[in-house]
């Protein structure tokens, strides 16, 4: 018999506010590190994007400074642009190799991203779902949030039960990410992304958002209704979802005092205070 409390007693979404971007990213990295230390064969779901860079920097520091061991860890990224080769400097494979995989002792064979150059994209998506299933599912999924409210590239109107598939990007997302490509016309219009349903299957989800540009969409995702128009709001259905924000991204939340109380008082957060 497991001595874990039944899910119905623990089912919740939590919101944690840290003073600034560094403190928020460091908290996420410490949660990942504690997962990896407790379970050296952990399956991590990973995200790219500028918000995640600080998290990976902290993880690399923990690997180098305090022997955080990634040798048994397996990883699955949320998404990849359609049409980009793994060696393309704009590909998410390249981003992950640079910011994390090559800087720690992860075995590259244990790292997975969808192949945006597959000749049959539908088959590639089904294969990706199968690989996640064969690995036993995702223990801890990291997420960012786009200005369109997306998690992964699940743009508005993505079904909340969707699985890994090809998705067209919204103008908002194209605007958000075009600077990395040196202009909107150089940016791919489509991506392969885990579905909202795929993400909700992870045993734990951690969403990190920092900066004032994310304040509106965080308030909608956390305190607004669950809607396919803001796919991050689907995390309200997840049994163990934690949203970690800095003060700037928390600016539009109504229940800030309550969220601060949770971090300051709940025993679960004691080791991180």
Footprint of ligand F6R on this chain (CB under 6 A)? Answer: 47-51, 78-79, 144-146, 150-153
Could you give the angle at the alpha carbon of 16 between the alpha carbons of 10 and 18, nearest 5°?
155
Q: Which of 48, 75 has the CB closer to ligand F6R?
A: 48
CB 203, min distance to ligand F6R, A: 19
CA 178/CA 184 separation, integer angstroms: 5
Q: Is 56 or 259 the residue whose CB approaches ligand F6R more closely?
A: 56
Nearest 5°: phi and psi at 201? -75, -15
Query: What is the helix (H) or strand (E) element at residue 112, kind and residue range?
Result: strand 111-112
Residue 37: partners with Cβ closer than 8 Å, 6 or more residues away: 68
- Considering the complex, state which of residue 106 and residue 142 has its C-beta at the smaller distance from ligand F6R: 142
Question: Least distance to ligand F6R from the beta carbon of 4, Å?
Answer: 30
| Min CB(144)–ligand F6R separation in Å | 2
Q: Which is nearer to ligand F6R, 237 or 264 (CB)?
A: 237
Q: Residue number with the shortest CB distance to ligand F6R?
A: 144
CB of 216 to ligand F6R, least distance (A): 13
Nearer to ligand F6R, 42 or 54 (CB): 54
CB of 269 to ligand F6R, least distance (A): 24
Phi and psi torsions of 250, nearest 5°: -85, -5
Residue 172: C-alpha distances to residues 153, 177, 222, 246 (Å): 12, 9, 20, 23
Identify whether the C-beta of residue 151 lies closer than 8 Å to the C-beta of residue 232.
yes
Q: What six digits make up the tokens of 136?
A: 């036993």
């Amino acid at each position: 018999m497991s001595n874990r409390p039944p899910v119905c007693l623990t089912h919740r979404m939590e919101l944690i506010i840290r003073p600034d971007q560094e403190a928020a990213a460091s908290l996420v990295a410490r949660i990942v590190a504690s997962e990896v230390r407790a379970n050296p064969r952990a399956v991590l779901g990973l995200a790219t994007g500028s918000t995640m860079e600080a998290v990976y920097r902290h993880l690399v520091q923990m690997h180098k400074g305090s022997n955080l061991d990634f040798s048994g860890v397996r990883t699955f990224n949320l998404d990849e642009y359609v049409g980009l080769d793994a060696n393309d400097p704009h590909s998410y494979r390249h981003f992950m190799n640079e910011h994390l995989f090559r800087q720690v002792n992860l075995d590259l064979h244990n790292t997975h991203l969808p192949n945006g150059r597959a000749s049959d994209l539908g088959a590639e998506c089904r294969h990706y779902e199968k690989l996640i299933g064969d690995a036993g599912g995702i223990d801890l999924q990291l997420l960012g949030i786009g200005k369109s409210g997306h998690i992964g590239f699940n743009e508005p109107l993505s079904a909340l039960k969707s699985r890994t598939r090809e998705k067209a990007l919204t103008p908002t997302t194209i605007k958000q990410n075009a600077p990395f490509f040196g202009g909107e016309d150089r940016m791919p219009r489509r991506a392969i992304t885990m579905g909202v349903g795929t993400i909700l299957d992870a045993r734990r989800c951690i969403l990190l958002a920092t900066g004032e540009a994310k304040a509106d969409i965080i308030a909608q995702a956390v305190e607004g209704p669950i809607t396919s128009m803001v796919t991050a709001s689907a995390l309200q259905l997840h049994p163990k979802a934690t949203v970690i924000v800095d003060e700037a991204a928390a600016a539009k939340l109504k229940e800030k005092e309550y969220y601060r109380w949770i971090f300051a008082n709940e025993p679960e957060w004691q080791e991180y205070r």
